[in-house]
Amino acid sequence: MYSIGEFSRITGLTVKALRFYHEQGLLAPSCVDEQTGYRYYDAGKIELARAIGELRRLEFSVQQIADLLSRIDDEADLLDELQLHKASIDAEARRFREIGRELDRFISHQREVRSAMKNTTYEIEEKAIDPLLVAGIRMTGRYRDCGPVFGKLGRKVGRWIAGPPLILCYNTEFREDDADFEVCLPLRKQLSVDGASVRELPAVRCLTLVHRGPYEDLGNSYAKMLAEIGNRGAAVETPSREVYLKGPGMIFRGNPKKYLTELQFPLRT
C-alpha cells in the first residue's frame, strides 16, 4: 500500500487532486484508516490515476470522466474503453473536417453568387404573358423531385412540346418536403394525356425576372422580386411560375452557372 503522498509522487497527481477525485467518486482509495482518516492506495490504482490525470490534461470535464468510468467494471477494462472513446473522437474529428470542407465550398459559392448578383444585367420587367396550352401533373413533394416527372410527361406528349418546361408554384412560402406545384409542358395542340391535365393557362400580366445560375440560388432572385413587389405595393396571384429557359438536357447536365430560369409573378387586376 502507498500513502497518499507516495501515490501522489508515483502518479504525478497532487494530494489535493487525489482528495478531490475521491470526493467526486472518480478514484477511491484502496482503504482509509478509520482512526486517522489517512488514505492508502494499492498498485492497481496507478493506471486509473494516470488515466484520470491525462484526461484532465486533455480538458475532459470531471463529469465526462465519470461517465466514461461508469462504463467499465474494473481498471482492467479501462484501456479498452479509452480505445473505443478515441475511435469515437476520431470519427467526430472526421465529421468536423468534412463540415469544414463543406463550409469552404459554401463560402466560395456564396461569394460567386454575390458577385453574379452584382454583375447581372437582368432586370425586373412587367410584361403580358399570352395564353398558354399546357399538359400538367400536379404533385406534392420536393421541388428537386420534378425532374423524373418532367421525363414522364415528356414521354407522353413527345413531339407536341411547344416551348420550355415550367412549373406552377401554388405555395406562397417555401415548403421543403410538401410543396404544392405542377410540372407543365407547353403543347402545340389540344391532346388527351393519361394522368395529366391539359388546359389553357389564361393570359396574365406579370412581373418577371430572369435568374442566371443554379437552381439552388433561386432564393436570391426571389428576394429581389419580392422586394420589388413590396416597393410597388403590388398584389400578386398564385400560382407563380418558374420557366426553365435553359437548363440540363436529357443526357448532359450542362453548366449550372449558365442555367436561365424566368420567374413570373402574375399581378392581381
All structural domains of the chain with their residue ranges = 2-70, 125-266
Question: Distance between CA atoms of 218 and 232, rounded to whole angstroms?
Answer: 21
Question: Distance between CA atoms of 70 and 26, rounded to whole angstroms?
Answer: 9
CATH, domain 2-70, list 1.10.1660.10, 2.60.40.10, 3.40.50.11540, 1.10.3760.10? 1.10.1660.10
- Whole-prediction pTM value? 0.58
Residues 242 and 263 sit within 8 Å (Cβ to Cβ): yes
- Determine the residue type at 204: V
Cell of 93: 474529428
Cell of 161: 412540346
Question: Distance between CA atoms of 243 and 162, rounded to whole angstroms?
Answer: 13
**Torsional sign, CA 29, 32, 37, 39:** negative
Cβ-Cβ contacts under 8 Å for 221 (sequence gap 6 or more): 209, 211, 261, 263
CATH architecture of the region 125-266: Alpha-Beta Barrel (3.20)
Question: Distance between CA atoms of 11 and 9, rounded to whole angstroms?
Answer: 6
Buried b (16+ CB within 10 A) or exposed e, 83-117: eeeeeeeeeeeeeeeeeeeeeeeeeeeeeebeeeb
Which 3 state secondary structure label does DSSP give 43?
helix
Closest CA to 241 of 148, 160, 136, 167: 167
Question: Distance between CA atoms of 251 and 109, rounded to whole angstroms?
Answer: 25
pLDDT 10s per residue in the chain (269 long)?
888 989 899 999 999 999 999 999 888 888 888 888 889 898 888 888 898 888 888 888 888 888 888 877 665 577 777 788 788 889 999 998 888 888 887 687 567 656 655 655 568 999 999 999 999 999 999 988 898 999 999 999 988 998 899 999 999 888 888 999 999 999 999 999 999 999 999 999 999 999 988 888 888 889 889 999 999 998 999 999 999 988 775 444 668 888 889 999 999 87
User: E strands of 18-82, at which residues?
Assistant: 31-32, 39-41
CA angle 151–154–156, rounded 5-degree value = 115
